Chains A and B, each alone.
Chain A
Amino acid sequence: MRQRERQLGALYALPLSVFLGLTFLAPILLVAGFSMMPEKVFELAHMPDFSAYRTVLAQGYWKSVAWSLVLAALATLILLVICWPLAYAMAKVFKRFTLVLTIGVVMTLFVSENIRLFGWVLTLMKGGLVEGYVRHWTGLGFDAPLYNVPVIVFGLVYVYLPFMLFPLAQGISMVPDDARQAAYDLGATRWQILREIELPLAMPGIMVGSLLTFVLAAGAMAESKLLGGRAVITIADEVQTAFTYGQNWPLGSALAMVLIAIIGTLAIWAISKADLDAMMGRKS
């Protein structure tokens, strides 16, 4: 009986396994293969060749990696702080309004990220929506708050808000009301309730939200290109450059593999911490 169940399970999982193998695993293996080719040529003869990785180390690409990780970490932290109250309200306070908010936030995803970011450029640029009107009315112009690091972080926060908000709301809805009330009754202050009860019990949601935003933000480049005007170059930008202008596929692949390794390690660590079963409503 057990044996049969296991066989059936494997059978049911087969279509999705094949799909994941072709769409997820195969491209990674392909990129891994490219990364081990000699630079600037396409040949399988001299594989494996780690010159692309040497270039990664020698050419100071670590700066782009560091910027990507720092920007992603900053965006994730800021998103945690802004989304917590909003997610709390969605899970516990707003009733019908939660749906309105959900639709509102999801709607923004229907418009391409680049177009939305260009919208911000038009709004913030010199002679744009804000500065243009201010100058028209007061005669005083000012420099556009564009092309710097803070505006890149703002862009990341703006673009990835839904990916933090919804998992967080889900996580907060898992905190039982009576546990909060019991803690309060036993003498806990609001901060103690947050620290001792709400944060630990909402941890699966916090982990999933942070992971999603961090991973997406670490692989982002549109914000630094469009809003940041390449004030800093992110690693994703370097990967794209290597593949396109550089025509150096092995270098691009090696850079991609470094990013995948860092983020993959982080993701696996975080997932092992988060109780995904509880998140999906399956109590262990």
Chain B
Amino acid sequence: MSDPSPILRISALTKTFDDFTALHGIDLDVAEGEFLAIVGPSGSGKTTLIRLLVGMDDPTEGAIWLRDQRIDVIPANKRPTCMVFQSLALFPHRTVGQNIEFPLKLRGVAAKARKERALELLDLLRLPRDYYSKRIQQCSGGEKQRVALARALAFDPEILFFDEPLSALDYRLRKTLEKELKDLHRRTGKTFIYITHSLEEAMVMSDRIAIMRAGRFEQIAPAEEIYARPVSPFVAEFMGEVNFLSLAGGAVAGAELSPAAQAALAGQSGTLVIRPESLRLAPEAAGLILTGTVAAEYLLGSRVQYRIDSPAGELTVEVLREDAVAGVGAPVSLGCDISAVHVIAEAEDAAA
């Protein structure tokens, strides 16, 4: 956020529909060449945000700057940005080549130069050159995706926006395209802003993730940081399975603390966040020790997940298969290093 010259700066952006506020004066800086994912559940305002960014809607208040140009007052067709639509929005009456050349044709680029560029883009997206004269209807889902990308790149935008373009594809194709997209980002060096409800997608591809909730950014940080140090229980839960323990005046209800852990947590109140894989079964020595009985057992391939009833509440634990314990009903003790524990302080918790 302290980037000296962001390519995109959003300041105090607000969007109100009748009696509903979709965006509450949000701020964001995006660095040149960054891959930023904006993630949030449906209704969090991410679609509204991207509509404002590309110019399909006008903000109620606030401003959007692209370098030193204010773009929220410019109509969408005059903005140097473009978007890959969720539906891809390819032109069904045009060939693959004509689709890719469309933005160039609008600018009056000569037919020969247009075709040259279109073929280059087909190469860049690893589509065979003879796709140039194919009809859109003859392309598979993944190929259409690449054509849409090629068309957006032909526009040569300052920033390329993506509105969940992979959400309609099957799992394996999505995984392949995620990697290709990340690779494409590296090779083109463009700034990508990617909207998705899938955190998994965001984690694979992006440099930073902005998590949205109810029209605000909850946390903007690289994936590892959000995972390890979520600012709120909402973010922690959004990032995958998690255990919450309540911390009051340095003491954790239902848990035993080692002297070192007591020192680390002394005087703090709030919520303790522990990931399921940070908990160990039958620990010899640990900063934080809990006890309970196994309530349920789920096999997850190489790992086993347990649901455990304990005085501190229901806990989720994930261990390697070889560390598995006797099944449901067995009493267990659990432990976790104090370094794997993250504290969400009371104030932040209340704000969330």
* Chain A interface residues toward B at CB < 8 A: 176, 178-179, 181-189, 192, 196-197, 200-201, 284
Contacts and interface: CB of A to CB of B under 8 A. Distances in A.
Given A182-B90, A196-B102, 13 more contacts: A178-B89, A179-B89, A179-B90, A182-B85, A184-B77, A185-B82, A186-B102, A186-B155, A187-B107, A188-B106, A192-B106, A196-B106, A201-B93
Given A184-B76, A185-B54, A188-B77, A179 B91 contact: yes
Nearest to B56: A181
Given A183-B102, A186-B151, A187-B103, A178 B76 contact: no
A189 B77 contact: yes
A15 B111 CA distance: 53
A186 B83 CA distance: 8
B91 A197 contact: yes
Contacts of B105: 196
Interface string B249-267: 0000000000000000000
A20 to B, nearest CB: 32
A186 B93 contact: no
Nearest to A197: B91
Nearest to B103: A186
Counting from the closest, the 7 A-B pairs by CB-CB distance are: A182-B89, A178-B89, A186-B103, A200-B93, A178-B87, A184-B77, A187-B106
B77 A187 contact: yes
B89 A181 contact: yes
14 contacts: A178-B85, A178-B87, A179-B89, A181-B85, A182-B89, A184-B77, A185-B55, A186-B102, A186-B103, A187-B82, A187-B103, A187-B106, A187-B107, A196-B106
A176 B85 CA distance: 13
Interface string B132-162: 0000010000000000000110010000000
B92 interface: yes
A201 B94 CA distance: 10
Interface string B103-127: 1011100000000000000000000
A115 to B, nearest CB: 43
A192 B85 CA distance: 20
Contacts of B89: 176, 178-179, 181-182
Contacts of A284: 137
B56 A187 contact: no
A179 B136 CA distance: 13
Count chain B CB atoms within 10 A of each CB in A183, A184, A186 and give the residue with the most. A186
Contact of B106 (A186, A200, A201): A186
Nearest to A284: B137
A200 B92 CA distance: 10
A178 B55 CA distance: 14
Contacts of A196: 91, 102, 105-106
Nearest to B107: A187
Count chain A CB atoms within 10 A of each CB in B78, B93, B103, B137 and give the residue with the most. B93
Contacts of A188: 77, 106
A95 to B, nearest CB: 17
A27 B102 CA distance: 50
A188 B102 CA distance: 9
Given A186-B82, A186-B155, A201 B77 contact: no
Nearest to B105: A196
Nearest to B75: A184
A196 B76 CA distance: 17
A201 B92 contact: yes
B111 to A, nearest CB: 15
Interface string B65-95: 0000000000011100011010101111100
A192 B107 CA distance: 11
Contacts of A182: 83, 85, 89-91
A184 to B, nearest CB: 5
B76 A185 contact: yes
Contacts of B155: 186-187
Nearest to B86: A178
Nearest to A182: B89
A197 B77 CA distance: 15
A266 to B, nearest CB: 23
